[in-house]
Structure 1
Amino acid sequence: MLTPELLHALRNLPLAAKQAAEGFLAGQHLSRRRGAGMEFSQYRPYQPGDDLRRLDWRLAARSDRYYIRESEVDTSLTVHLLLDASASMNHRDDNGLTKLEYGRLLLAALAYLAQNQGDAVSLSILHPEGLVHLPARADARQLPRLYQALQNTTGMGRFPEAAQLAPLLARRQRALTVCVSDLYEEQGEINSLLTRLRTVAGDVLLLHLMAGNELTFSYRGAVTFEDLETGQTLQLNAEDQRRHYQEQLQQWLRTTAHTARRQGLDYFQLSTAEPLDGALREFLRRRQATSFH
């Protein structure tokens, strides 16, 4: 299991994505369903109306019974990847990674996984200077495009305004949307976007990214905190505030998860201190469920 800091240390996003995804899959293909594909799965008795081209004549000659060969075929769908690139994603964990760097690694690995499953993949990077959007494609050149866009991404400003996000909400075919964000927002703008995407495009997997030092409050002594989006600062003593901070944080996390799930989003919390595997597993679980809708 490769740690996120080891993947980041490769300084090669395509290689890191491949290492993370293939290390996780370990040769397994998790998105298959029975059908008339190429890879044999099992037999079942012939029923009137079945395609006679799938009938196993050799087995019929031996058993005097007619059986249909069921095969496995790859399922595929459209996967929309969204990355929150507001300035709060520049927060750095004790392992040296920012949330944005972790998010880039994660979405690159998810893009690799999705294309490996035969899916069409798109990418939208959300920051105040304008929406960076790569339309969904399933061709071999899509991954390099996505990697390049992710590598060029820097965190800045606040989450974009609704008018800038309008192109994401154009009515589209059913898809699986995956959003990586720390959910630091002023007026519920991230939640509003994802709820509307749930309405127009189907399933939404929200990967709520927190830094390890945010979750554990690993600071010591007198600390000055700065809001990366507003520039406001706050001075405090870490030991005096630790208990109150952790109580408030856990309450916020519970409320955030409850709100997301109540509005039909699939919510999963992850930490920049943890390997990518939990999020990759959640993606494949949600992808498989979406494929069978």
Structure 2
Amino acid sequence: MQGERMEHGLRLLELDVRRRLDGLLQGNHLGLVPGPGTEPGEARTYQPGDDVRRMDWAVTARTTVPHIRETVADRELETWMVVDLSGSLFFGTAACEKRDLVVAASAAVAHLTGGGGNRLGAVIATGEKTIRQPARGGLAHARGLVRKIAETPRAPEGVRGDLTDAIEQLRRPPRRRGLAVVISDFLGDVEWQRPLRALSARHDLLAIEVLDPRDIDLPEVGTVVLADPESGRQREVHASALLRKEFAAAATEHRAMVAAAIRRAGGGHLVLRTDSDWIADTVRFVVARKRRWSGGGVA
């Protein structure tokens, strides 16, 4: 019975994704990246935020105005997802748990990169184990991959996730150039910065940050029990105005560090929250990126 409910929920998710994201790909071979392309296209004026690796130095020197070279998208795209399912993702205080958003984001990536011979694979990391799903094409494979992510159990209490290792496992062995998507709440240390930059040197990069309101601020509820979902440790504290202020400041600082690390790696940064319409946020992100590629301004 539980399997039937899971299947029904995943089909509803797929229908919602298709209904609200269809149309975003019109006039664009890929929904999340303009390339990677191997055939040179037209040169256009550089816009802030463009990938400097696509600078056309010959045109820039001739015109004295920075230009980048567009590329014609390859006919086939290979997309790999790093899916973080460590203990901190099995938490939520709003419409859903963060792990539900991870499943939803995976379904959106599958939809936005599917078709045309494209392939999708994943490295699913719980901290206890890492599951590799080979990159294959077809709707049946994409559905099975999203189902595998949804069905992956939580690691035992006390097991910490290791996003750095998961990204490293995606890097080795080297794969053909494509799209790399990292889905995580990016909590904890930021040792993943170096492998993320190395990953983006070969692939177009998208980081999807999944957040819950309690990741950002503490509620004004007096005494509250704070728990580390990955170590199992708990601590009872009084949520005073000073503590709430310090917690919010630390959370803001950490989020700024995450955003800066992703920006330095040259990746796109999509933030999804359990208290927000994640599909609407995804739509705005994709539309902004497509506007930037067309030279319509900064995303």
- Name the TM-score, length of structure 2 as normaliser: 0.69
Unaligned runs of 5+ in 2: 31-71, 294-299
Could you report, residue by residue, the CA deviation over 1:175-212 in whole angstroms, capped at 9, with x for unpaired residues? 111111011234x343343223223x311111111102
Partner residue, 1:113: 112
- Partner residue, 1:236: 237
Mark the CA change 1:17 to 1:215 in structure 2 (over 3 Å): closer, same or farther.
farther
Greater alpha carbon shift after TM alignment, 220-229 vs 277-286: 277-286
**Alpha carbons of 1:271 and 1:155: their partners in 2 closer, same or farther (altered >3 Å)?**
same
CA RMSD of aligned residues (A): 3.2
Render the CA deviation track for 1:187-246: whole Å, top value 9, x for unaligned.
x343343223223x3111111111023334335111010011112222222243222221
Q: What's the counterpart of residue 195 of structure 1?
A: 197
1:248 aligned residue:
250
In 1, are the aligned partners of 2:167 and 2:196 still within 8 Å (CA)? no
1:218 equivalent in structure 2: 219
**Aligned counterparts of 1:285 and 1:78: Cα–Cα separation in 2:** 23
- After the TM superposition, which of the residue ranges 85-94 and 269-278 deviates more from structure 2? 269-278
Instruction: Kindly indicate whether residue 278 of structure 2 is the aligned counterpart of residue 268 of structure 1.
Output: no
Task: Determine helix, strand or coil for the equivalent of 1:92.
Answer: coil
1:207 partner SS: strand
Choose 1 or 2 for highest CA Rg.
Answer: 1
**More deviation in 254-263 or 110-119?**
110-119
Q: Deviations over 1:153-172 (max 9, x none)?
A: 13323224866765422111
Give the alignment of 1:161-176 within 5 angstroms: 167-169=169-171, 170-176=173-179
1:101 aligns to what? Answer: 100
Cα offset, 1:129, TM superposition? 2.8
CA contact (8 A) 2:79 2:179 kept: yes
Contact 1:128–1:160 under 8 Å retained in 2: yes
The answer on whether the counterparts of 2:24 and 2:287 sit within 8 Å (CA) in structure 1 is no
Label 1:135 to 1:124 Cα distance change in 2 as closer, same or farther (>3 A).
Answer: same
Tell me the equivalent position of 1:206.
207
Q: How far apart, CA to CA, are the structure 2 residues paired with 1:26 and 1:109?
A: 13
Which residue of structure 2 aligns with residue 84 of structure 1?
84
Equivalent position of 1:134 in the other structure:
133
Q: Partners in 2 of 1:178 and 1:287 — Cα distance?
A: 17
Identity of aligned residues (%): 20
Structure 1 counterpart SS, 2:271:
strand
Give distance in 2, aligned partners of 1:128 and 1:120: 26
SS of 1:141's equivalent? helix
Given candidates 7, 10, 26, the residue that maps to 1:13 is 10
- The count of aligned residue pairs is 242
Could you tell me how far apart the structure 2 residues matched to 1:131 and 1:287 are? 33
Aligned letter for 2:102? G
1:158 is matched with 160
Contact 1:74 1:117 in 2 (8 A): no
1:276 Cα offset (Å) = 2.0
Q: How far did residue 280 of structure 1 move? A: 4.8
Alignment of 1:24-43 (within 5 A): 24-26=21-23, 29-32=26-29
Task: Give the secondary structure class of the aligned counterpart of 1:12.
Answer: helix
Kept after mapping to 2: 8 A contact 1:130/1:164? no
Structure 1: gaps spanning 5 or more residues = 1-7, 34-71
What letter corresponds to residue 153 of structure 1 in structure 2?
Answer: T
CA contact (8 A) 1:205 1:267 kept: yes
| TM-score, structure 1 normalization | 0.71
Structure-2 separation of matches of 1:79 and 1:25: 19
